[in-house]
Amino acid sequence: MIEEADFVIAGGGSAGCVMANRLSEDSGNRVVLLEAGQPTDKLLINVPAGMQSVVASQDTNWFYTTEPDSSANGRRIFLFSGKGLGGGSSINGMVYIRGTRYDYDQWAAAGCTGWSWDEVLPFFKRSEDFDGPDSEWHGKGGPLGVSQLRTIHPLAYSFMDACRDLGMRQIDDYCSGDIDGTFVNFATQRGGNRCSTAEGFLKPALKRPNLEVITGATVDRILFEGTRARGVRFIHDGAVREIRVAREVIVSAGTMQSPGILMRSGVGPGAHLREHGIDVIAGREGVGKNLHEHPSLPNSRQVDMATYNVRNNPFRLAAEGMKYLLARRGWLTTCAVHAMAHVRSSPGLEYPDIKYQMLPFWNHQNVQAYFGADTPVPDSTRTCGITIGVNLMTPNSRGQILLRDTNPASRPLIDFRLYDDPSDLERMRKGLQIANDIFAAPSLAKHVSGTAYPPDPNQSDEDWDDQLRSCSATGLHPVGTCRMGGDEDSVVDPQLRVRGVDGLRVADCSIIPVLPSANTNAPAIMIGERCADFIRGNRR
């Protein structure tokens, strides 16, 4: 284990693996990547349909729990977060989506100079190895496999037809920044296998002698000399270790963990740090604030044709296994979501604020987890069903992350406040009602054959609101706790440098000032590309 490096990256998730690759391309850079989890080169991770098993494993999922949320009827909400090399890209649903042109132009207008759609598009494309036709919106030959779905369930087309029944338009390529309609989504796959950033970016770089990857390394804090970052302290094999840093530390531990690393290092809200006996290096009140997410609730129906949840008999699995082994086809190559749609919760909105994700399966255990253990649900291993996941893309509610104590192994205190702003509840209610309209549209209604969940699609607004508070989860896209901005209250500046100190950056979804209308893996990868480019540009 080396004792000094030019760059230390604290966190080997979606963005961290990108930066490890890009910074080590220069053979003169000594780069160390620290990751608390383990390598993720396992069969169930690489086979797309293995996702449900991978998500359920404590080896690959942090399984965070929030504090009781008064805006959600006092519930604690469970949160998934990738653990291990590749982070979320190793366990997620593999949906590749960037968001809208407006999302990024909004960042730039708010002071994030250099982050408009036209300025970030080249960094999305730089990563890509797109398997579709040549396009101005896609890149070829990059480390990240981005693929058209190899196997699409027929009901995905029925879902899109139902959306068109309601007046939505079909989008040919939503990576243009236009998501105002319905479409089949792309996936982070290559050749029918999952393409995480560990697989696409990190694996090819491991042969470089100037890159060292240390797994099972829990970062405690950044070490400062005055206000300059000069090292990283971490726990590895039960021992406290330190690495000196000649140039920069990049914190990339994710929305839940990055603020804690900063705070334990003395960068954060002064009063909170002093409560925990931490000397304040830089009082930054915004560290841990601005936590926000896509509220989510599934809407499921029984249907009249086979869906993926019932394809679990030995003969079917054997047949699908042969398809996968011989041709990388069939449902083992499937990602979670096959089609999507974006709509406005009210006609006066300039841009869509509700997202629908069509999943060609349902799960009776998930239904009971959302709607109550006593909810009567048919066994989903024997009944066919699909799910439309409803998500609010532009939430106004904000929560925060705080330290529970100074132990780096302790879980953060997550104060989510999922529905703290009443307008979010109102818009989610409308989104669920539109989802019912999609199920009732002729193109999809002809396939609906049984029970609906939520149980009563025609309940009152008050009952909808209570159900949302009682049952909503998150879209698993938390952002914002180390907010980027051009203002002095932001945690990082537009080049991702932590304000008030030197030699320290943050590069992950925690820097996102306002959620894009997208699953956050593609934006996280773009952020990693952007940060590496800033660093290399500064050296030139």
Backbone angles phi, psi at 354, to 5 degrees: -120, 135
pLDDT tens per residue, range 80-108: 999 999 999 999 999 999 999 999 999 99
Count of residues in the chain: 540
**150-184+295-394+421-471: which CATH architecture?**
2-Layer Sandwich (3.30)
Confidence band, pLDDT 50/70/90 cuts, at residue 540: very low
Catalytically active residues, by annotation: 477
Distances (CA, A) of 440 to 124, 131, 159, 167, 437: 37, 35, 11, 14, 5
Confidence band, pLDDT 50/70/90 cuts, at residue 76: very high
pLDDT tens per residue, range 352-394: 999 999 999 988 777 777 777 777 778 788 889 999 999 999 9
For residues 86 and 72, is the Cβ–Cβ distance under 8 A? no
Identify residue 385 by its one-letter amino acid code: G
pLDDT tens per residue, range 462-504: 999 999 999 999 999 999 999 999 999 999 999 999 999 999 9
Residue showing tokens 């909400």: 77
pLDDT tens per residue, range 23-54: 999 999 999 999 999 999 999 999 999 998 89
Identify residue 226 by its one-letter amino acid code: G
**Parallel/antiparallel/unpaired status of strands 193-194 and 189-190:** antiparallel
Tokens of 302: 């029984």
Q: How far apart are CA 339 and CA 135, in angstroms?
A: 21
Q: Which of 168, 121, 145 is nearest to 358 (CA)?
A: 168
* Residue 292 β-bridge partners: 479
Q: What percent of the chain has pLDDT over 90?
A: 87
Looking at residue 456, what is its pLDDT?
Answer: 75
Looking at residue 539, what is its pLDDT?
Answer: 54
pLDDT(450) > 70 = yes
Average pLDDT value for residue range 122-144: 98
Instruction: Give 2's Cβ-side CA count (13 Å radius).
Output: 20
Q: How far apart are CA 22 and CA 41, in angstroms?
A: 21
Which residue ranges make up each domain of the chain?
1-111+192-293+397-418+478-540, 150-184+295-394+421-471
CATH 3.40.50.10140 fits 1-111+192-293+397-418+478-540, yes or no: no
* Residue 318 β-bridge partners: none
Work out the burial of residue 284: count CB atoms within 10 Å of its CB; fewer than 13 is exposed, 13-18 middle, 19 or more buried.
buried
Beta-carbon contacts of 271 under 8 Å, excluding residues fewer than 6 positions away, are none
Tokens of 167: 């007046």
DSSP H/E element including 526: helix 521-539
Tokens of 298: 């599934």
Neighbours of 56 (CB within 10 A): 12
Tokens of 403: 């330290």
pLDDT tens per residue, range 241-261: 999 999 999 999 999 999 999
Torsion, CA 365, CA 367, CA 372, CA 375, rounded to 10: -90
Average pLDDT value for residue range 252-274: 99
For residues 491 and 284, is the Cβ–Cβ distance under 8 A? yes
DSSP structural state of residue 172: S
Q: How far apart are CA 184 and CA 338, in angstroms?
A: 6
pLDDT(60) > 90 = yes
Tokens of 534: 């800033």
Tokens of 301: 């129906």
Looking at residue 538, what is its pLDDT?
Answer: 64
**Parallel/antiparallel/unpaired status of strands 128-130 and 144-148:** parallel
Q: How far apart are CA 480 and CA 464, in angstroms?
A: 28
Mean pLDDT score across all residues of the chain? 95
pLDDT(144) > 50 = yes
DSSP structural state of residue 198: I
Q: How far apart are CA 63 and CA 74, in angstroms?
A: 19
Backbone angles phi, psi at 399, to 5 degrees: -120, -160
Beta-carbon contacts of 364 under 8 Å, excluding residues fewer than 6 positions away, are 377, 378, 379, 380
Tell if the pTM clears 0.95, that is, is over it: yes
pLDDT(192) > 60 = yes
